[in-house]
């Protein structure tokens, strides 16, 4: 409760939740003694989708090989503490409270966005936790994101890029998005480019043309193919036969292969095939095609009902969900429980999945302000000829679905915040 009070207070420091600029974060970091200059071996991660799964896979590989890691990701799924991972564990409530108060005192009430403030907190605590690697997931875009304050790193990673957050751009085009994410990546380093669409890949190459870093491209420099018992990874250094990871969805093979390509191109670290194979079997990733097999939510449905939760929230992610549902549940009745934030491409998202779902139950996202009202989501669904209704709560939605459909798959999606609320309820 103490932490929540401080977080609410910090939200009042700037009238906008996002205001793209580096001036305020640089001012606060300077007042803190520039802790960002003392991070050891930082790895910066940009992209639209797959960043969190990549970061957790990369962390698992490093830690399996005996290295210590700090990691900063956003947003959190169930609890704010998930954003800060230091030396093998997530930050405690006690330490988080002390850190927030310390930085708040240094800031002295000056204007700064919430994201900028919490990035400064991470830099300060990460500088104190002397580890082997610091993994930083960028926030909105990268060029003017608060994470883009480093002068050097050991690698930049470009995960799959697609359309999202158009409301923060002038025209909202894919050209703008690629420019914002890729044009200001650090030089004299290594840039790993994951699997992309052909159109996006060409735009990435154009933006990296003057970047002095070594460039490692999917397909050209590393690749993977799915096999009967797992997948086969291949790069310029050789081949590795790997087991299936502890993650659902074929798209996760791209995220994991990009993590493998990263560690194998950073020669200062001694990481073996054994470390990689062991690590991918231990990866944990909440809110990403997560099957709910136990917990309170199971009390609201019958035994045959399956519950799957995923935070997909843009068209690129919807395409991956479509592939997964086609592969895993092609013969099942799928009821989508949908909650989305207001600034997303709701109609496109729903349209992509229209042939996979029997019907849609729309909900408001609890404990959020800028959500898309459930009535409008239901309207979007009906415009694509999908049976749709609204419910008052997650609990009532689950109960009514289970009553009407005895052997269904309840597929909860549309937002990471929505996924977090469902998992917290469980």
Based on the domain organization, do 264 and 321 belong to the same domain?
no
Domain interval for residue 370: 290-425
Based on the domain organization, do 107 and 162 belong to the same domain?
yes
Select from 280, 299, 320 the last residue of a domain.
Answer: 280
Based on the domain organization, do 214 and 347 belong to the same domain?
no
The DSSP line for 153-200 is: -SEEEE-------GGGSSS--HHHHHHHHHTT--SSSEEEE----HHH
DSSP 342: T
In a domain, residue 144? The reply is yes
In a domain, residue 42? The reply is yes
What is the model's pLDDT at position 306? 96
Based on the domain organization, do 213 and 331 belong to the same domain?
no
Looking at the structure of the chain, the number of domains it has is 2
Cis peptide before 75 (omega within 30 of 0): yes
The string of pLDDT tens digits covering residues 238-282 is 999 999 998 999 999 999 999 999 999 999 999 999 999 999 999
Q: Identify the CATH number of the domain in which residue 358 sits.
A: 3.90.190.20
Residue 319: helix, strand or coil by DSSP?
helix
Residue 412: helix, strand or coil by DSSP?
strand
> Distance between CA 182 and CA 205 in Å, rounded?
9
Select from 280, 302, 335 the last residue of a domain.
Answer: 280
**For the chain, which ranges sit under pLDDT 50?**
none
Q: Which residues contact 332 (CB under 8 A, 6 or more apart)?
A: 306, 407, 408, 409
Based on the domain organization, do 129 and 274 belong to the same domain?
yes
In a domain, residue 50? The reply is yes
Q: Identify the CATH number of the domain in which residue 255 sits.
A: 3.40.1190.10
> Distance between CA 420 and CA 426 in Å, rounded?
10
Based on the domain organization, do 196 and 267 belong to the same domain?
yes
Based on the domain organization, do 178 and 316 belong to the same domain?
no
In a domain, residue 117? The reply is yes
> Distance between CA 133 and CA 154 in Å, rounded?
9
In a domain, residue 389? The reply is yes
Based on the domain organization, do 272 and 299 belong to the same domain?
no
What is the model's pLDDT at position 285? 85
**DSSP β-bridge partners for residue 20:** none
Give residue for tokens 């470009």.
Answer: 158
Based on the domain organization, do 171 and 86 belong to the same domain?
yes
What is the model's pLDDT at position 17? 79
Select from 255, 280, 305 the last residue of a domain.
Answer: 280
What is the model's pLDDT at position 57? 97
> Distance between CA 283 and CA 379 in Å, rounded?
38
The string of pLDDT tens digits covering residues 86-117 is 999 999 999 999 999 999 999 999 999 999 99
Start-to-end C-alpha separation, the chain: 20
In a domain, residue 374? The reply is yes
Taking residue 17's Cβ as centre, other Cβ atoms within 10 Å add up to 12
Distances (CA, A) of 112 to 33, 103, 106, 116: 17, 12, 12, 6
Based on the domain organization, do 273 and 346 belong to the same domain?
no
Distance, C-alpha 421 to centroid of its chain: 16
In a domain, residue 234? The reply is yes
Based on the domain organization, do 191 and 99 belong to the same domain?
yes
> What tokens appear for 305 in the block?
């009902």
Based on the domain organization, do 326 and 254 belong to the same domain?
no
What is the model's pLDDT at position 269? 98
In a domain, residue 285? The reply is no
> What tokens appear for 340 in the block?
């989305």
DSSP 73: -
């Amino acid at each position: 409760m103490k932490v929540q009070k401080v977080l609410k207070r910090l939200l009042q420091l700037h009238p906008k939740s996002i205001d793209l600029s580096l001036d305020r974060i640089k001012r606060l970091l300077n007042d803190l003694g520039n802790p960002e200059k003392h991070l050891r071996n930082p790895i910066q991660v940009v992209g639209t989708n797959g960043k969190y799964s990549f970061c957790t896979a990369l962390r698992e590989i490093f830690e399996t090989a005996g290295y210590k890691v700090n990691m900063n990701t956003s947003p959190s799924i169930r609890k704010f503490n998930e954003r800060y991972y230091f030396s093998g564990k997530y930050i405690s409530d006690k330490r988080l409270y002390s850190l927030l108060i310390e930085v708040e005192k240094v800031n002295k009430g000056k204007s700064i966005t919430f994201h900028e403030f919490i990035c400064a907190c991470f830099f300060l605590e990460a500088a104190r936790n002397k580890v082997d690697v610091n993994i930083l997931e960028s926030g909105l875009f990268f060029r003017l994101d608060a994470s883009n304050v480093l002068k050097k790193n050991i690698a930049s990673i470009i995960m799959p890029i697609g359309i999202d957050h158009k409301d923060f751009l002038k025209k909202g085009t894919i050209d703008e998005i690629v420019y914002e994410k890729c044009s200001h990546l650090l030089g004299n380093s290594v840039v790993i480019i994951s699997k992309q669409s052909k159109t996006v890949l060409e735009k990435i190459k154009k933006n990296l043309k003057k970047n002095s870093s070594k460039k490692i491209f999917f397909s050209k420099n590393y690749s993977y193919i799915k096999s009967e018992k797992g997948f086969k990874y291949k790069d310029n250094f050789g081949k590795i036969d790997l087991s299936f990871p502890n993650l659902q969805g074929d798209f996760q093979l791209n995220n994991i292969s990009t993590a493998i390509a990263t560690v194998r191109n950073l020669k200062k670290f001694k990481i073996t095939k054994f470390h990689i194979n062991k690590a991918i079997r231990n990866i944990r990733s909440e809110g990403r095609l997560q099957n709910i097999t136990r917990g309170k939510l199971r009390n609201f449905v019958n035994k045959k009902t399956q519950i799957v939760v995923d935070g997909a929230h843009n068209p690129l992610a919807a395409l991956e969900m479509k592939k997964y549902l086609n592969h895993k549940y092609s013969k099942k009745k799928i009821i989508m429980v949908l909650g989305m934030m207001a600034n997303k491409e709701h109609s496109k998202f729903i349209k992509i999945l229209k042939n996979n779902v029997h019907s849609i139950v729309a909900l408001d996202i609890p404990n959020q302000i800028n959500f898309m009202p459930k009535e409008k989501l239901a309207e979007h669904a009906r415009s694509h000829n999908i049976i749709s209704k609204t419910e008052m709560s997650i609990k009532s939605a689950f109960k009514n679905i289970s009553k009407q459909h005895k052997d269904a798959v309840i597929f909860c999606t549309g937002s990471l915040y929505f996924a977090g609320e469902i998992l917290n309820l469980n």
